[in-house]
Amino acid sequence: ANPSAASRDSRVALSDRLISMVMRVLLGTIRPLTGICFEIVYRLFVKRRRVPPLESPLLGMSAVALADAIRRREVTSEAVVRASIDRMRLVHPIINAVVWERYEAALQDARRVDAMLDSDPDNPEWSREAKPFLGVPATVKEAFGLVGGTQSVGLWLRTSIRSERDAVCVERMKSAGCIPLCLTNVSELCMWWESHNRVNGITGNPYDSRRIAGGSSGGEGANVGAGCAPVGLGSDIGGSIRMPAFFNGVFGHKATAYMIPNAGQYPDAIAEGRYFMLSGPIVSHAEDLLPMVRLMAGPENSARLLIRPSDPRPDVKRLKIYYMEDSGDSIWCSPVEPRIRECIRQAAEHLRADLGLPVQKVQLRKLRLSPHLWSSKMKLSGEERFAVQMGGGVKLNCYLELIKWCLLRSHHTLPAIGLGLFEQFGSENLDRRLAAICDQLKAEMEELLGDDGVLLYPAHPTSAPYHHQPLTLLFNFAYTGIFNVLGLPATSIPMGLDHKGMPIGLQAVANMHNDRYTLLLAELLENKFGGWVRP
């Protein structure tokens, strides 16, 4: 062995430990202090607003149940769509989720559905198998193409752009009978976990308008959580479906890598980012998850996932349950709140005691590196640099933009400018070493989960923070983001409200192509713990 190399490695290890200790003290001091400041400001100077209770029982039904009722002529599609539109108009001043609407066109679509059912009620084209969401209202994240709609994704340079065709997932939703009502708000270029931009403003949480709805599919999460529509279309590259679902008390699913297409979305992944980013559903009822994933994945990928109508329902008795209450000894993420830990323990105990499933607490040490693993994989993905996207194809000078922001002259948000600056730093060698650790973690998880395992894990360490507070909690997204770079399916599952009256929950993670297990678990836990708590 080389003594000098060993001595150098020892010094590096000591230096790493010292830096870690210093950062732990700093972050352990700064986080609570900034949290207290946000608490004081918002409690004293900003009034809490909560969306009103649901006006119509139709708003509390699942999409599948609504479609069945429409099919049986117990209710008209027009009545359902009108109830959703009325609800959106009522809550919009509180949550600011809708950025473009087609309400009159949607009502015309609904009337056509009703007319077709009246004239030919037994036509097999209207069956549950052919159109599982017949006549049901849906909302769509503004990142997706919807004919005639905006697609600014919160970028000032794109305010005049209109979609000329539907995104693939929008086409598939329409073919399944969904009636799109509107497009919903996002974070700038869909790369931050609060939905705020200079074009459409900031989206509030339906349970407390002072708090975030999440991002980047925050408008979808807020709309579905507020009871405006039973189903919505989002996308997820770092938790952008699962975080809004968690913050707004509903369900969201990120599928196995490559299983749901992004075509027609902006910005789209063009290289390795296609492995990380997927379109997917946000829904208020767990029974809508499977049919939504099935229609979005398409016939070929549904066959790979074993979620076709002809595939047998998974045998719950086969499942093995593993759980973790946090990511380990990470200094970068907030501590997991006690009530969220309790949710995970309650879910695990229910599955053990009531269903007789084997349950084991585990600790995957590499998960504590989640922020670094996600970042390294993103940097090595070959995707277009964020600063180039901000400049509309020309690299934006983010240093100059930061100065303009300080002078209130910028058309960009601080998180977007910060990301444009952050991506310029780092070492490719370090990124490759971290990417190798990420690959090792994936192998460990695949071995642990096998063909019948599900991991219960926090979807986020805290309930929804106040607006702009994520700037002090930068890396909390890594609880969801890590499963994007691992390519594993993950479902966000609501588990009630915390002491602040805010939604909390967990996420269930399975091995590649085992989405059916996490979707099944969502139904089981909804049956036990109640799922979505109506505002």
- The residues annotated with a catalytic role in the active site are 141, 216, 240
What stretch of H or E contains 100?
A: strand 98-101
Of 321, 345, 358, the C-alpha closest to 521 is 321
Q: Give the total residue count for the chain.
A: 535
The number of angstroms, rounded, from the C-alpha of 474 to the middle of its chain's C-alpha atoms is 16
3-state secondary structure of 159: coil
181 vs 84, 224, 345, 363, CA distance in Å? Answer: 9, 12, 39, 44
- For residue 532, the 8-state DSSP code is -
Residue 32, token pair as written in the block: 């609570």
Do 15 and 496 form a contact (C-beta atoms < 8 A)? no
Q: What is the DSSP letter of 258?
A: T
| Beta-carbon count within 10 A of 409 CB | 9
| Cβ atoms within 10 Å of 524's Cβ, excluding its own | 20
The crossing angle, in degrees rounded to 10, of helices 428-449 and 370-379 is 120
Q: Name, in order, each residue with C-beta under 8 angstroms of 143's C-beta and a sequence gap of 6 or more.
A: 151, 153, 186, 190, 216, 235, 265, 266, 267
The DSSP H or E segment spanning 430 is helix 428-449
Q: Half-sphere exposure (CA, 13 Å, Cβ side) for 470?
A: 28
- DSSP three-state, residue 289: helix
- Three-state DSSP state, 503: strand
Count Cα neighbours of 361 within 13 Å in the Cβ-side half-sphere: 11
Question: If DSSP states are collapsed to H, E and C, what string results for 315-383?
Answer: CHHHCEEEECCCCCCCCCCCCCCHHHHHHHHHHHHHHHHCCCCCEEECCCHHHHHHHHHHHHHHHCCCC
Residue with tokens 């938790």: 239
Transcribe 179-208 into DSSP letters.
Answer: EEEEEE--SGGG-SSS-EETTTEEPEETTE
Dihedral angle computed from the Cα positions of residues 463, 466, 467 and 470, in that order, rounded to the nearest 10 degrees: -60
Q: In whole angstroms, how large is the CA radius of gyration of the chain?
A: 23
- Cα separation, 468 vs 480, whole angstroms: 19
Reported in sequence order, the residue ranges of 148-277 that DSSP labels E, i.e. its strands, are 179-184, 196-197, 201-202, 204-205, 208-212, 231-236, 251-254
